[in-house]
Structures are given as C-alpha cells and as structure tokens.
Amino acid sequence: MGATFLSKYLNARFTREVSKSDSTEQKRVVVTLSRDTGCDAVQIVEETIKQLNNALKGENKNHGWQFVSKEIFEKSARELNVKLDIFDKLESTSDKGLIEDLLQSFSNEKYPSEYKIKKTYKEVIQSVARNGNVIILGRAGVAIVKHNRRNLHIKLTAPLDWRVQKVAKENNITEAKALKHIKESDEKRQKFKKYYMGRKVDITDYDLVLNVSSLTKREICSALVSMIQEKSK
C-alpha cells in the first residue's frame, strides 16, 4: 500500500479507466483514527501495526497491516505532476472555493467544475479501504469510510488545558498562542470532516474514544490491538 498503488489508481481515475478490481467489496477490517490537536498518534499507530503483523499467521501474513499517512498522498500528487500541497488545500480551503482552488492544482489538463475533486479524494480513500487491513490516520477517514460492524472508527482526545500545556511546551510558545493554534486546527479538521459527512461529526460517530492524558501509549496500543483482532475474526 504505497504511492505506486495510489498513483496508478488516480491515473486510471482521471482517464476514466478505473480497473474492475477497484469495484470489489471490502473484505478486511479498516480502522480510521482521528485525533484532536496535541494528541500524538503516529507512534501509537506504528506500534499497533507492528503488534498486529507480528500476530498474523498462515495466509494472513500475505495481507499485513498498513499505515496510510499524509506523506503517501503527497508523493502520489508529486508523481501525478500536481502541486504538492493539493491535499493540504483539501483541509484548509473553505467549502465555497474548494473545487475551484483544487482544479487549479492540476497542471496537465483542465477539468469542468462539475468534476468534483471532492469525489476524487473520497474515492482514493475508499480504494485504500477496499484492500482492508489498514489504519487511516486523519484525512477525514471517519467521514468517508463506511460505518459498519466490520470497520472501526477511533478518536484520540484529551482535556483542552492538557493539550494547551503540551503544545506550548513542545513548541516553546506561550499557552495563549498554543490555545489559538489548537482552536484553529481543531476547527479546520472539523470543517473538513463535515464537508464529507454532510453534517458535523459527532462523538457517537466513533466506536472508541480514548483519553491520551490518562492512558499510556502502551495501554492505548494494547486496547487497539485487542479490539482490531476481535473485529478481524
């Protein structure tokens, strides 16, 4: 599950030659992991995947768990000869100007306004999900990946004051600046998810919510591995 796979998919999508394999139904578990600003997640995801893959046996080893991150999408954009910040724009541009701004990111061909970049991004996420055994970190995954008993939507959170102190310390800034950054970042993420969900994402849209201020990374990983393995049976 790397940039090559995504770039091939996107090339096919843009030339309207999507392969039949992309229309197959998802057969394995997909996990989306959302987090509030200030809640670290990369190390947790990496350790969770390591434990999940170490536990795989027999033929299941051929379908190891993968971690889809922002870097993969950026690399795909580079291979497609579009602006490297195309996926950042998806998160930061307002609803009104989203499609117009993104259309300008394509350098080789012009697309009509009706050709939704929103839909393309959504289909990229869905194509990744069809393969299963993947953890999608952020990227509005909770608003795009199906909500059913097969998938697992997780959120990492913590009290605001805890996050403010953490961000201020890690970035050597005042707590006032940290608070401003957190509020702006959280709002941007919420709007991005709402754009795809069609409504504000509610806490009940998550299957599991974990407080990182009161749980260690080891405890969180243990909980995630246990629940994912149960879902995979």
Read off the pLDDT of residues 6-48 as tens digits, 9 standing for 90 and up. Answer: 555 444 444 443 334 344 566 789 999 999 999 999 999 999 9
**Contacts of 91 by beta carbon, 8 Å cutoff, 6+ apart:** 188, 189, 192
pLDDT digits (tens, 9 = 90+) for 83-139: 655 556 555 554 545 445 555 555 455 443 333 456 667 777 888 888 889 999 987
Q: For the domain bounded by 3-15+30-231, which CATH number is listed?
A: 3.40.50.300
What pLDDT does 4 receive?
A: 52
Tell me: the pLDDT tens digits for 166-207? Answer: 999 999 999 999 999 999 999 988 888 888 888 889 999 999
> pTM for the full model?
0.76
